[in-house]
Amino acid sequence: MQKQDYTEVEIVNGCLRNERKWQERLYRQYFRTMFTMCCIYANDDQEAMDLLNHGFLRVFTKLNQYEFKGSLEGWIRKVIYHQIINIISTDKKRKQTVPLETHHEYISTHTIDPTDIEYYKNLLDQIPPASARVFSLFAEQGYSHQEIADQLNISSGTSKWHLANARTLLQQLIKKDHETYTITTGR
């Protein structure tokens, strides 16, 4: 398939007609950005792919609700983000309903869960507020760098820097927490 630029209207209308080539174009066009977002919430690439595919399935089923207000990328990001949160919440509930006889085993094998929402919020509280705000607007709410720049009265380059800074700091905090957990529990 040749690399061509298609308008959002062409892509969305093709997907709404349930035409496979347009669905593939939408998927390919937004794959990298959405996969990167999924990696934030996943433990590994396979889990990120699972989140991504569930997210895109949700995008295709809800695409008729897209009203061409704001960017298509932002709308897709929001849909996939909400699907990720639903999956994480469901998994967390499943983990909490462990039968009593296996509860001890569950506690002894439990590790730090970076997909835990409270854990994530706590990490965001530990990084500089400006970087945390840009990260939240980009990763959670689906704003583009230009939209963030307009909202926060900064340049899009500054928005990109804050996002990169937030990701680096969050990765360092997660690594530090994991190392601390490993030393404490011996796992």
Q: From CA 48, how far away is CA 36, in angstroms rounded?
A: 8
Reply yes or no on whether the pLDDT at 177 is more than 90.
no
Burial tier of 101 (Cβ tally within 10 Å: 0-12, 13-18, 19+): exposed
Which CATH architecture describes the domain 1-97? Answer: Orthogonal Bundle (1.10)
Across the chain, mean pLDDT equals 78
pLDDT tens-digit series, residues 57-84: 999 999 999 988 888 999 999 999 989 8
Q: From CA 116, how far away is CA 41, in angstroms rounded?
A: 9
Residues of the chain with pLDDT > 90, as a percent, come to 28
What 3-state DSSP class applies to 178?
A: helix
pLDDT the model gives residue 111? 42
Which CATH architecture describes the domain 112-187? Answer: Orthogonal Bundle (1.10)
- Delimit the domains of the chain by residue range: 1-97, 112-187
